Amino acid sequence: MSRSLDVLSSKFKPKVFELLARLTERGEPVLIVQTDRTPAEQDENIAAGTSKTSHSKHIPRRLRGVTVDPFSPADLDKCDAVDICPYDIYQFHGPDKLQWNGADPAWKVIGEEAEKLDLRWGGRWHTPHDPGHVELILSDHDRQLATIERQRP
């Protein structure tokens, strides 16, 4: 498990920097909880109920089978997701996502700013609801899903 921004893909990393800057401007301090993870760590998250997919964008592209253009060969060992948490919530509950207060208004700010950057926000998901998850939209299919998610109340 890593919190390093250096493991993020070249298309995603600048958007994460901008997201963090926008959240700072809005007075929402956040903590980077996780960037990349191994398939074994992802299996643990599935077992714990904090994820439902074995193809998480936290896993480096090569390990989840994303090896086609237009990706740079250097990006094949990079990931396309980050988990962040409002600093106060993390200080109170620690890294256990299932303990985080999903109703806190700070999550909505994270979602608003992520979606302004055309990133997919896990706060729109219902099972599991993952308001700290932000990921790069890689394909037209991803983009269609994100658009549908934004239209839900």
**How confident is the prediction along the chain (153 residues), in pLDDT tens digits per residue?**
789 999 999 999 999 999 999 999 999 999 999 999 988 888 888 888 777 777 789 888 888 877 665 667 788 889 999 999 999 988 887 777 777 777 889 999 999 999 999 999 999 988 778 899 999 987 676 666 656 666 666
Amino acid present at 119 = L
Residue 70: its pLDDT value, please? 60
Residue 133: its pLDDT value, please? 93
* Cis peptide bond prior to 60, omega within 30° of 0: no
Contact 2, 36 (CB under 8 A): yes
Residue 150: its pLDDT value, please? 65
Listed by start position, the domains of the chain span: 5-151
Q: Which two tokens stand for residue 131?
A: 């308001």
Is 3.30.2130.10 the CATH number for 5-151?
Answer: no
pTM: 0.84
Query: φ, ψ for residue 143 (rounded to 5)?
Result: -65, -40
Residue 13: its pLDDT value, please? 96
**CA–CA distance, 84 with 87 (Å, rounded to integer):** 9
**CA–CA distance, 122 with 76 (Å, rounded to integer):** 23
